[in-house]
Amino acid sequence: MRKFRVGAVGAGGIFKIAHVPGWKALPDVEIYAVCDVDLARARDIALEVGATHVTTDYRELVKLDLDAVDVCTPNKVHTPAVLAALEAGKHVLCEKPLAVSTEEVRAMGELADRKKLKLMTAQHFRFASSALAIKSWADAGHLGEVYHARVRAMRRALVPTTPGFIDANLAGGGPCMDIGVHALDTCMWVMGFPKPLRVTGTTKVNFAKGHKIHGMWGEWDRQRFSVEDFAAGFVHFENGATMTLEAAWLGHQTENEDMSFQLFGTEGGVKWPSGEYASVAGKTFVQGTLTYWQRIERPHSEEIRAFYECVVNNRPSPVPWTETIKVIAILEAIYESERKGREVTVKL
């Protein structure tokens, strides 16, 4: 029997550093084909992983005898690449954000459902020990009803330098879409994905066009920079809960990065990723730290294993599009609120 065949669309850093080790850890899997607009880069990765097919056109890749396609392109290419793979009958793992609009997410999800294919967004933080511990504790009822959340994806001076992140025509958004999606997805997952109703948001370019803050990852094209470097939003949910969200690549803070959330519930409160929790027992205040029973060293690899197993065992997607669409709806609404200068209704 032949191995499970994967075709990669996008051979940049996230695929090479995070996805390749995950696929190589699975003995019954082979990376069969690699696609990238940079042919030399595609050939280099193909040589490294032993792939036998190389192309610069994802439409050619999806015609091959593949079981799944792994999409790691700039955000704006996700939708056409994912739709092409699904139309060709391939299961799809796609890097976050799955798309930059709810309309695109729905198009992907409904196509996958019609064709009975697996579609999964690569939200690797769900597979980390810290998130799994908090999720397990919350599902056991220790949070009670969550009435408010604080979500942060804030960096001091960590701007991705490639055009795929800073050019709106390729990225579709800045830190809100790039790292805000991580913290927001993980928080919503613990909350049980309540339905968002209304959002007030703002986006700004505070530093990326000037030279007050220099990037720790090197220089970027400040003239080409056409996304935000800071975003914030306030969300109302159908169940009465509220949320604040902040995301930035640049800003005056002591931490190089603060990727976190805090949940306030009627039975307890908890912080991610620290696992610090607080509650009360009678007249006694209770606090401590949650620890997952298993230490997971490579969440990206666990994410890929979960996708592979859902395909071969015909299980539901570990990150279903019906959850992802609520995340993207909030981020999309933040941008819409900024454009309109008022609170907006979430599109779901």
Residue 150 CB neighbour total at 10 angstroms: 17
Which domains does the chain show, CATH number per domain? Answer: 4-122 (3.40.50.720), 126-296+328-345 (3.30.360.10)
The residue type found at 183 is: A
Above pLDDT 70, what percent of the chain? 100
Going by their DSSP bridges, the two strands 269-272 and 276-281 should be labelled as: antiparallel
Evaluate whether 306 touches 127 at the Cβ level (below 8 Å): yes
Phi-psi region of 218 (alpha: psi -120 to 50; beta: other; left: phi over 0): left
Terminal-to-terminal C-alpha distance of the chain:
43
Name the H helices within the chain. 13-14, 20-24, 39-49, 58-61, 75-87, 102-114, 129-139, 163-166, 168-171, 175, 181-191, 299-312, 321-340
Mean model confidence pLDDT for the chain: 97
**CA dist 310 → 66, 124, 258, 323, 327 (Å):** 16, 15, 32, 16, 22
pLDDT tens digits for range 160-180:
999 999 999 999 999 999 999
Using a cut of 0.75, tell me whether the model's pTM lies above it: yes
Block residue for tokens 């940049």 = 12
Model confidence at 347, in pLDDT bands (50, 70, 90)? Answer: confident
